[in-house]
Amino acid sequence: MAAHSEIGASSMGRWRACPGSRRLIRTLPRQKSGKDALLGTAAHLLAEGCLARDMPAEAMLGETLTVEGHDFVVDQEMVDAVQVYLDAVREAVNTV
């Protein structure tokens, strides 16, 4: 998985107001991600795999995804949410 961007949208207020903060942040110890963030990462992994294999999210229902040592079972809620994303991406690609 790619490294998190130093100029991500969630931290734009900080790095836009103080560009030097990017260098300072690199010196701080990395904080562990919370369970909700890890669940989001698992959903992103599911979406990535579905796009790469051209399959629906439903095909992964019940599978286990491991993120930073935490296991997440692909449940119907994750399938439904990821499928909305997959449909939007596929529609956008097909209209280009």
- pLDDT at 67 > cutoff 80: yes
Residue 1 — pLDDT band, cuts 50, 70, 90? Answer: very low
What is the C-alpha separation between 82 and 96, in angstroms, rounded?
22
Across residues 56-74, what is the average pLDDT?
97
Q: Residue 5: what pLDDT? A: 66
pLDDT in tens, 8-48: 777 888 888 998 988 888 898 887 889 999 999 999 999 99
Element (H, E) at 70: strand 70-73
Interior angle at CA 68, CA 84 and CA 35, nearest 5: 60
Give φ, ψ of 9 to 5 degrees: -60, -35
Q: Residue 4: what pLDDT? A: 59
Report whether 20 contacts 58 (CB < 8 A).
no
pTM (predicted TM-score): 0.71
